[in-house]
Chain A
């Protein structure tokens, strides 16, 4: 093409030669050749690890929401799904993905605590309606649901958070078995922060904790090295953090999402870490928790028992301005926490630390007062606006097998209490404990220590009806008992305390085949598998009962009782028939400190509601 100017106008002149004319036709020669392009790119399989569309195994998924949290594009919502139940350990929610925002980075897959969420290598989805590109993988059926290829978390050795919990230092069994000194050492700052760093802050644990503690929040306080904020979070729901930080049954850890594919967070030890960092100085506590000048109201509450439920109720009522008086039967506060749990697990000074702060907010406590004899329940009703009873389970239960009425057959709760009060405790050379729960392990290990002191060796057998897998004691209790030289022998049922010349010489047991049937507790035994556990004394530790002797007959007549004499309460923890009497703790929920604390808290709120009706 050339440019020329004619009559002051620029014009283009096209000149062509024969080559220019023929060249286009050479393209026709390609007609018979195979195309270099792909005929139908939509059916081309992507690479095996291509990051395509999501799929989710909704049965594996627990709805922890870490996928939503990590998403950089806010492409994920956690939504309820029909047929998926909200329960302990599962929020019932499942991730829904908005493909208007997703960039297929796969961070959601890489953080997934259960490995249920994956990306397939499917990458084509055609629709004229842009509103369809939002779906709940695993719920809304898609053609790629069964595809195996795609991006999956390349486990093992690829994790966004630590899989192993930070080891908790303990005294070696040889160092601890002759001493009641606390043997769990507690985390250092570095260890605590490292452990806290493993938390994904999903909050699944909170629902399972009976007190519904703000677990992710106080773990965040550890990460941020903000112990005062940590204390404030603990005290929102639990006024006994030193105690609970040591002996809580930590059901929260059973449902920890990090624990699905690794070790659960050491939630209990992190709680202890926070409380341990604050010195035993009630002034400091009051300052941190803003409880220096609580405005009092004119109402008075009586609390019977200073166990976890009583202390918890007293604390929260005290915070609300009530004048609270605790009536304690024993010389010191703590109930079963002090008189039932050995000091190697829960040192007395740590109980004192928690109790002293509760007393410092204005809660009064009267020791050595026996309700029913020193003062009647009716008098408390006359003198106070409401009464909270958390009297616990302090009576041992007997197996009632032949020989169990012998003087050398003891109840674990009695012996544990005697160890604390300093009363004489019989320590024989060979001891047999009946029971497989935590209290049984406590007495087993306590007696082992006393044997070490007296004889220089351990000779205790603990036997339980349940098999190893179903023993009710915490796993660590069983392991530690064995480390300390005790024999823990599961799946045998006691048949007779063998007595010779008026002396206990052992326990006859049969192999236990099953414990429950359709009628309830009805153990079946294999009589041919009989063993004799030698022992000079037998300790029964098969559960505890309540002592309701403080209830007079006329008060009892107004109350309602359920099976096995259990007091019936309404949903506000009021005794049915006696609206001024609120009941909580072990006598309602069974033996567990954190349940007692939760009960006490709720009981306090119910009392507040009850006293302010019509205001």
Chain B
């Protein structure tokens, strides 16, 4: 894979190239060059099988990281092409013209992360969560806990104890509570 990495790195200015295993490489490519590279890998480097497409929300960096994982059936190697796109402008060129099944992934990513793929068939249709009208649920700023609390009832009989409070009740129930006055009590 070394020569492949060198060849593609020069052509597409790859960054953060990581050879995870003998048969698996990940690398970042600029958003503008990404689909061109996916096409090149398919047509010229033998990565004819599209394995999957996924996304990671790097909220601290303000980025979504898209991953196109391609497989070369001849060499039995995989190449993961990573692309960072702005969270504030979550739009990516569609790749459904390369493998038809990609539109399904893109539809899922639109629903889960809110990333748009203009021109991708049925990209605006519900994928799994029908009638969802909240923030895309896989974005890390979506408060899953709050949603669970508001949406689902708690099983009857459930009760939880806060460890620190429970230890106080068990071990030092007479601990004095004083001193913390708030401004209004003055």
Which of A79, A91, A602 is close to B167, meaning CB atoms less than 8 Å apart? A91
B168 touches A207 (CB 8 A): yes
Q: Using A72-B144, A101-B148, A290-B183 as known contacts, say yes or no to A77 and B164 having CB atoms under 8 A apart.
A: no
A326–B158 CA distance with the chains assembled, in angstroms: 52
CB within 8 Å of B: which of A440-486?
none
CB within 8 Å of A: which of B157-186?
158-164, 166-168, 170-172, 174-183, 185-186
**Which residues from chain A contact B166 at a C-beta distance below 8 Å?**
78, 80, 86, 91-93
B16 interface residue, CB < 8 Å from A?
no
**Which residues from chain A contact B76 at a C-beta distance below 8 Å?**
none
**Which residues from chain B contact A98 at a C-beta distance below 8 Å?**
155, 158
Binary interface encoding of chain A residues 68-100 relative to chain B, with 1 for a CB under 8 A from any of its CBs, else 0: 100111101111100000111001110000101
A539 interface residue, CB < 8 Å from B?
no
**Which residues from chain A contact B180 at a C-beta distance below 8 Å?**
232-233, 235-236
B44 interface residue, CB < 8 Å from A?
no
A63–B171 CA distance with the chains assembled, in angstroms: 15
A131–B155 CA distance with the chains assembled, in angstroms: 9
**Which residues from chain B contact A73 at a C-beta distance below 8 Å?**
144-145, 148
B154 interface residue, CB < 8 Å from A?
yes
Q: Using A206-B167, A212-B175 as known contacts, say yes or no to A78 and B162 having CB atoms under 8 A apart.
A: yes
A206 touches B178 (CB 8 A): no
**Which residues from chain A contact B148 at a C-beta distance below 8 Å?**
72-74, 101
A572 nearest in chain B by CB position: B174
**Which residues from chain A contact B181 at a C-beta distance below 8 Å?**
289-291, 319
**Which residues from chain B contact A134 at a C-beta distance below 8 Å?**
155, 158
A293 interface residue, CB < 8 Å from B?
yes
Binary interface encoding of chain A residues 232-270 relative to chain B, with 1 for a CB under 8 A from any of its CBs, else 0: 110111000000000000000000000000000000000
**Which residues from chain A contact B167 at a C-beta distance below 8 Å?**
86, 91-92, 203-204, 206-207
**Which residues from chain A contact B182 at a C-beta distance below 8 Å?**
290
Contacts from B to A (Cβ < 8 Å)? 144-145, 148-149, 152, 154-155, 158-164, 166-168, 170-172, 174-183, 185-186
Report the 8 A-B pairs with minimum CB-CB distance, sorted nearest first. A203-B164, A77-B160, A91-B163, A605-B176, A72-B144, A207-B167, A86-B170, A65-B163
Contacts from A to B (Cβ < 8 Å)? 63-65, 68, 71-74, 76-80, 86-88, 91-93, 98, 100-101, 131, 134, 202-204, 206-207, 212, 216, 232-233, 235-237, 289-293, 316, 319-320, 571, 601-602, 604-605
29 contacts between A and B (CB under 8 A): A71-B145, A72-B148, A73-B145, A74-B148, A77-B158, A78-B162, A79-B160, A79-B161, A86-B166, A86-B167, A93-B161, A93-B166, A98-B158, A134-B155, A203-B164, A204-B163, A204-B164, A204-B167, A207-B168, A207-B171, A207-B172, A236-B178, A289-B181, A290-B181, A290-B183, A316-B179, A319-B178, A571-B174, A602-B175
